[in-house]
Structure 1
Amino acid sequence: MKRAACLLAAGAVWAPAAIPSSAHALDGVGVRLSIIDPAATTRTVAAPQDASDPALRAFATRLLADLERQLGASGARPAQASATLFRIPLVASGDAPYPAPPPPPATEGAACAVASPWIALTVRRDGAGMKVELLALWNERQVLLDLAALESDAPLPETAPQTPLTRSEFSAMAQAWTRESMGGEAPAAGEPPLAERLPPDAARLFAEAPQATRGPFDLGAEATLRAIAARMSEAYADLAAALVARCLTPGETGGRFGGPHDIRTLAGPDFGTAPPE
Structure 2
Amino acid sequence: MGSPWAGFKYFEQFLNDSSFYDVLRNTLSISALKLIFGFPAPLVLALMLNGIMHKKIKRVFQTISYLPHFVSWVVVVTLLQKILSPNVGLINDIRYQMGLDPIFFMGRPELFYPLVIISDIWKGVGWGSIIYLAALTNIDPHLYEAAEIDGAGRWSKLFKITLPSLTPTIGILLIFSLSGILNAGFDQIWLMQSPATLSVSEILDTYVLKTGLQQGQLAYSTAIGLFKSAISLLLIVVVNKVSKRVSDVSLW
- TM-score, length-normalised on structure 2? 0.29
**Larger RCO of the pair (alpha carbons < 8 Å, separation 6+):** 2
Q: Which has the higher Rg, Structure 1 or Structure 2? A: 2
Query: Larger helix proportion, structure 1 or 2?
Result: 2
Q: Give the TM-score normalised by structure 1.
A: 0.27
